[in-house]
Amino acid sequence: MTSWTAIVPIKRLALAKQRLALPGPVRRALAEAFARDVLVAALETPGIDRVLAVCSDASLRRFCRRHGARLVSDWVQTSGDALNISIMRGVSWADRRYPNDHVVVIPSDLPSIDACSLASALEGAVGLDRAFVADAEEYGTSLLMASSPARLIPRYGHGSAALHRAAGHVELTQAPRCLRRDVDDLDGLQEAVGLGVGEFTFSSVSGATGAARMAAAGDRWAGIVSAAAGASASAGSRP
């Protein structure tokens, strides 16, 4: 069976998800919930033998230690290329310790991700030197994969789907929507909760603080809470 190392770069929570039209504490809580759900999905995925979180927030580092994820501190995120720098810190860690592993980068803002869908995407990448999954808009990138850490060429940022394609990463066009729906704004969040999200995101959206968050975002937040309730009632819900 192919052995995978998953790298999950997590932006510092105080700086994360600034395009979400929500107060800072709400954005921070959602960003942390997204990251926790991504980490849990990766840890539960068959074939992923180790999960490496590149992060510095103490609460997430404690979560990683409790659940068995490895840790690398991120870079000081002041440059526009901070995400790729953080990824390369994870790549360097994997290349030193597990140079023959396949490697997958999983952004921390995919709250609809699940272990079964992720395992299927990884299986589709076996036999390819490099592969990627485009985001829901087909402009950016969600998952990025390579047959070894040294073969990975991260080009996250504006237009990254085209950049990864040009760098030799083969697009996995059959990947399901849950692997593509990253959350950058309220529209993305509403779609994600409609697809079904992990328990931490679900709790963050529909839990005890929901009323305060609804007041912060008005009717938009009410629609997101409604979408979460609809997903919970459906046969495929996962909270």
Give residues with Cβ within 8 angstroms of 113, minimum separation 6: 37, 38, 41, 106, 178, 179, 198
CA distance 43 to 6: 9
Residues 88 and 197 grouped into a single domain = no
Residue 42 forms part of a structural domain: yes
**Domain at 155, CATH number:** 3.90.550.10
Residue 238 forms part of a structural domain: no
Does the model's pTM come out above 0.85? Answer: yes
Phi, psi of 125 (to 5 degrees): -90, -15
H helical segments located in 136-185? 160-166
Structural domain harbouring 73: 4-179
Residues 173 and 198 grouped into a single domain = no
Give how far Cα 56 sits from Cα of 6, 16, 74, 79, Å. 17, 13, 6, 16
Give residues with Cβ within 8 angstroms of 154, minimum separation 6: 83, 84, 87, 88, 91, 105, 144
Q: What is the pLDDT along the chain (239 residues), one digit of tens a residue?
A: 799 999 999 999 988 888 887 778 888 999 999 999 999 999 999 999 999 999 999 999 999 999 999 999 875 555 568 899 999 999 999 999 999 999 999 999 999 999 999 999 999 999 999 999 999 999 999 999 999 999 999 999 999 999 999 999 999 999 999 999 999 998 899 899 999 999 999 988 876 355 455 555 556 666 666 666 666 655 344 54
At 47 the three-state DSSP class reads coil
How many helices, marked H, and strands, marked E, lie in the chain?
A: 9, 7
Token look-up 């990627």 returns 132
Structure tokens at 227: 């979408």
